[in-house]
A and B are shown apart, each in its own frame.
Chain A
Amino acid sequence: MMSTNKNPKSKGKEGVITKVSGPLVVAENMEGASIYEVVKVGAEGLSGEVIEMREGVASIQVYEETTGIGPGESVERTGSQLSVVLGPGLLGAIYDGIQRPLDSIHEKAGDFITRGIEVPALSKEKKWLFKPIAKKGDTVTGGDVLGEVKETSAISHKIMVPPSVEDAELTHIEKGEYSIEEPVARIKTEEGEENITMLQVWPIRSPRPIKEKLLPQEPLITGQRVVDAFFPVAKGGTASVPGPFGSGKTVVQHQLAKWSDADVIVFIGCGERGNEMTEVLQEFPELEDPRTGKPLMERTVLIANTSNMPVAAREASIYTGITIAEYFRDMGYKVALMADSTSRWAEALREMSARLEEMPGEEGYPAYLGSKIAAFYERAGYVSCKGKKKREGSLTVIGAVSPPGGDLSEPVTQNSLRTSKVFWSLEDDLANARHFPAISWLNSYSLYTKDLSEFFEKELGKEFKKNRDQAMKILSKEAELEEIVRLVGFEALSGKDKLTMETAKILREDFLMQDAFDEIDTFCPLKKQAKMLKAIIDFYRKGERMLDGNEDVEKVLNLEEKKKIAELKFASK
């Protein structure tokens, strides 16, 4: 974490602690401090953020354990907002909620995270080869690409003019090896000359500026059949995944992080298990991106603020992650962000709110929960990036929700559903029947199907949509028929209904069910999905025709095609 010096006058000024209660510290003599200003609390200099001002008295949320801190100790102001450091070196990193690299913390403090550790978010020593794209004498403006750095074998990091710059002349730019703090270029504005480095510092709570938002038109291909075929999310869209524990939320999130066709993935482990982050750390460097063949870690940024790490930093972790994601979007990349889980972030909000003695809304959550969630999801989008040259980037946000007791009527789920446009409903019943991914085909929805239909038609032909609609019809008919079967038994059904039941079973077992741990089945290309779906619907149509021709039902239900369909899943092409 680093801070921008927007208000240098207040830097170094000190307040005095008057109260300590868990992660909340109250200090006086804080006149002039601004909301969300970063402060250093106590003798150990614990990081904190001002969240409330009453005359000279500031309420501060502290990102580390406050044990042993007491009234009378000082609070040092930094005059700046909580910010992230953006530049080459982000990819492949694993950070805590306030952008401290966990590997550097490990080097400095050992196996456990102790307090008051300050480590730089990006290496200041490492030299990067900078290749200019803009030329001396060019007129540049915020967002324009000056040059690039091959950060990993998969991603080339675009070095951009800081967003605040307007029409400036590029007076100097040179190829060479630079560290992030060394100037790679010089610009001349009305206020004078200014050096530009590869590093940008941005406050996490303000969205990074864009030229304009566009309507999403392309799906994020995830290789997960139930998602791509039935409930697709658009690049630049939003999705939420609520599910009770044990329903496989984390596996779904991991699958999306692994196989989505995004250029950059930001994965936020927010208040979840430590071992899960360890798993990602051990697994991702070994997995290959099916499209580029490069290790997945080279396109991934991890933010890990596990459940036992300080609660206030958990609140910040979501913003840290999304700001990094926006930065890559600004370069013109398709970025996908997974947050697992937004409920833990909401609980962190609730905890701070309770300590501030605010009037609670539903279930003790603060009344502003809804607007905070909406504002977070709204940072997603398909955008035209800032800068003179036309460049489009997208940021897709997928948030997991952990509803207590699996009860979807709780506030975090309801508020998430109100803003996100795709809902993948993970259900206990399916998980218990070992149907994975346990995404319900009856309750889930995607509001992008219409926007994306053009894309699907172009890629897969007109037939795909027809097959998909037919499949959906069969599945919902099955739900109806099941009621009847429960009353009168399967044998009492008509031939066609039997065929519907059988086809629905095939759809469920051979299409919707997908084995995340099978080498081949874990990722299913779009074309293969269309082929599988076609095979199943063809079976259904053939059966229908045979029944119309008064063929025996048993014969229809035991068609050879069934076996072939079952084998499709594990066939490599």
Chain B
Amino acid sequence: MSITYKGLKEIVGSLVLVEGVKEVKYEELVKIRMPGGEEKMGRVLEASKGKALLQMFEETRGMELKNAEAVFLGETMKIDASMDMMGRIFDGSANPLDGYPNPIGEISLDINGNPMNPYSREFPDDFLQTGISGIDGLNTLVRGQKLPIFSGAGLPHSQIATQIARQAKIKGDFSVVFGAMGITFEESRFFINELKRTGALDRSILFVNTADDPVIERVTLPRLALTTAEYLAFHKGHEVLVILTDMTNYCEALREISAARKEIPGRRGYPGYLYTDLASIYERAGIIKGKPGSITQVPILTMPEDDKTHPIPDLSGYITEGQVMVSRNLHQAGIYPPIDVLNSLSRLKNKGIGEGKTREDHKGWANQIFASYARGQEIRELSVVLGESALSENDKKFLKFASKFEEELLAQGQEEDRNIEETLDIGWKLLKHLPREELKRVKKKEIEKYLDAKED
């Protein structure tokens, strides 16, 4: 049930004003038809009596006021989800990018979704193995968690994300939904090729918006990706991993639109509703009580100037369940993956590890490794000031432990898929270098079992 109006009133940036309209709905989709027959999509940002303010999804370049037609489609933005989307690549309007025809939809879903009832949620507590020691061992990812990667420009977050996507292991049907906002052509190629090369593409659905694509699509793209993920998880019972990159570009897009609308800005020019808006994305992770399937989110964001207090990482940190920090220092020291375990945090870690989930020694192990590495780091800083000769014997052992930790436990190949036992065993091997009386966080039983028994 569409209504067509002739002529536009104003075009400012990506905003278009149409007058003389009737029965416009908030968030309704609109098609602008140019005299040449070209069509561009937009949606209603503000509906008032006789007037509709539209946000265009595409460039307004080449649009004119008088001869254009606005077709109000009478419906809000939906995506036609189906299993045929598997292995396919789409743009920010859900049009195929891989040259194949549009898949036939099974069900039409509103891309904004509905908030999950906290009463219906299941608290996430199943271990999800990524095969990366720095995550599995110390900042464990849990099925249904939202754990972002806080990174900086030029750091290998994309590699880490694809490695997680390739290696993630969990019981049941596993699939990956990948949403890329405003990334470069090369980056998008990298993701696609990596997934293709390893065969992971067959169980993935990709949504890609590159830096030269329309800005507004960056705002709708994560919602398309998450709606598709919800379809897979809660209609088809899949365990879905959603990777969104780069949330910073998403927030920039939001700011751009907000500024165009002349809204009162909050901190650093970002709109005041940035928190609410981000929450409407991140909170779509989770598990539903009594139902198979889950959505685990690993959003990537690059912190401007590596600053954790910048509004984007700051507000994200308030919503997500921890963060994996990527460290520039470790990266420069040639360690891959350069995960700063001391500043990273998985809030759900303790619920997802231990007996029956990983291994009974995991908790104590993690505390011990964590404390010892922290001490090693402190001593490292001290030795810079005082010189290594000023250190006690014990101190030197911790210093050595810190380096060994980085080289042997943290560092691993991009193709290396370590299971949790391997990770824990490497850790125990490293702990041998420390004086026995300093191992206060692990139980005696565990020391006997893992530290003494395995002499190889």
Contacts and interface: CB of A to CB of B under 8 A. Distances in A.
A19 B52 CA distance: 9
Interface stretch (A61-69, A152-160, A471-479): A61-69
B116 to A, nearest CB: 6
A231 to B, nearest CB: 24
B256 interface: no
A19 B47 contact: yes
A275 B286 contact: yes
A352 to B, nearest CB: 10
Contacts of B289: 111
B267 interface: yes
Which residue, of B112, B118, B322, has the highest number of chain A Cβ atoms within 10 A? Answer: B118
Interface string A382-424: 0000000000000000000010111100000000000000000
Nearest to B72: A70
B112 to A, nearest CB: 6
A273 B319 contact: yes
Which residue, of B48, B76, B272, has the highest number of chain A Cβ atoms within 10 A? Answer: B272
B115 A354 contact: no
Interface in B118-138: 118-124
A19 B272 contact: no
A348 B266 CA distance: 12
Which residue, of B47, B76, B234, has the highest number of chain A Cβ atoms within 10 A? Answer: B47
A432 B340 CA distance: 13
Contacts of B291: 111
A278 B119 CA distance: 6
Given A70-B23, A364-B266, A351 B272 contact: yes
B20 to A, nearest CB: 12
Contacts of A491: none
A20 B123 contact: no
Interface of A: 18-22, 26, 65-72, 94, 102-103, 105-106, 109-115, 244-246, 269, 271, 273-275, 277-279, 281-282, 304, 306-311, 344, 347-348, 350-351, 354, 360, 363-364, 402, 404-407, 432, 517
Contacts of A402: 318
Interface stretch (B25-33, B79-87, B157-165, B429-437): B25-33
A103 B119 contact: yes
* The 10 nearest A-B residue pairs measured at CB: A405-B309, A307-B279, A19-B48, A308-B283, A70-B25, A102-B119, A112-B114, A245-B317, A20-B26, A277-B118
Given A67-B27, A113-B114, A282 B47 contact: no
B49 interface: yes
Contact of A354 (B25, B28, B263, B315): B263
Nearest to B113: A112
B76 A68 contact: yes
A112 B116 contact: yes
A113 B76 CA distance: 18
A304 B119 CA distance: 9
Contacts of A269: 118
A274 B350 contact: no
Given A68-B26, A274-B283, A350 B76 contact: no
A72 B314 contact: no
Given A111-B116, A279-B123, A282-B123, 14 more contacts: A18-B49, A71-B47, A271-B275, A274-B118, A275-B286, A275-B348, A278-B118, A278-B119, A304-B118, A306-B283, A351-B272, A354-B264, A405-B311, A432-B343
A245 B119 contact: no
B66 interface: no
Interface residues of B, number: 62
24 contacts: A19-B48, A20-B48, A67-B76, A68-B28, A69-B47, A106-B117, A106-B120, A111-B117, A111-B289, A114-B114, A245-B317, A246-B345, A271-B276, A274-B286, A278-B119, A308-B280, A308-B283, A351-B273, A354-B272, A363-B267, A404-B311, A404-B315, A405-B309, A407-B309
Contacts of A106: 117, 119-120
B288 interface: yes
A344 B310 CA distance: 18
Contacts of B24: 70-71
Contact of B117 (A19, A113, A115, A360): A113
Given A66-B26, A70-B28, A404-B315, A308 B48 contact: no
B318 A245 contact: yes
Q: Is the interface of A mostly helix, strand, loop or mixed?
A: mixed
B270 to A, nearest CB: 10
Nearest to B309: A405
B395 interface: no
Contacts of B310: 405
A509 to B, nearest CB: 12
B314 A245 contact: yes
Interface of B: 22-28, 45-50, 76, 110, 112-124, 144, 234, 263-267, 272-273, 275-276, 279-280, 283-284, 286, 288-289, 291, 309-311, 314-315, 317-319, 321-322, 342-343, 345, 348, 350
Contacts of A113: 114-117
B114 A102 contact: no
A112 B117 contact: yes
B118 A307 contact: no
Contacts of B266: 350, 363-364
Contacts of A20: 25-26, 46-48
A52 to B, nearest CB: 16
Contacts of B309: 404-407
A278 B122 contact: yes
B52 to A, nearest CB: 9
Given A72-B23, A350-B266, A404 B314 contact: yes
Nearest to B144: A275
Contacts of A274: 115-116, 118, 121, 283, 286
Nearest to B370: A434
Given A68-B28, A275-B286, A306 B115 contact: yes
A397 to B, nearest CB: 22
B142 to A, nearest CB: 10
Contacts of B319: 273, 307
Nearest to A115: B114
A124 B114 CA distance: 28
A277 to B, nearest CB: 4
A19 B114 contact: no
A314 to B, nearest CB: 8
A67 B345 CA distance: 36
A299 to B, nearest CB: 19
A510 to B, nearest CB: 14
Nearest to B50: A71
Given A21-B46, A246-B345, A311 B273 contact: yes
B443 to A, nearest CB: 15
A102 B120 CA distance: 9
Nearest to B22: A72
A447 to B, nearest CB: 28
Contacts of A344: 275
Contacts of B28: 68, 70
A223 to B, nearest CB: 21
A67 B112 contact: yes
Nearest to A21: B46
A470 to B, nearest CB: 29
A112 B118 CA distance: 9
A271 B280 CA distance: 11
A108 to B, nearest CB: 10
Nearest to B316: A245
A115 B124 CA distance: 26
Nearest to A304: B118
Given A20-B26, A246-B317, A405-B314, A307 B276 contact: yes
B119 A94 contact: yes
Contacts of A360: 264
A68 B44 CA distance: 10
A112 B226 CA distance: 14
B188 to A, nearest CB: 28
Contact of A71 (B23, B115, B118, B265): B23
Contacts of A244: 314
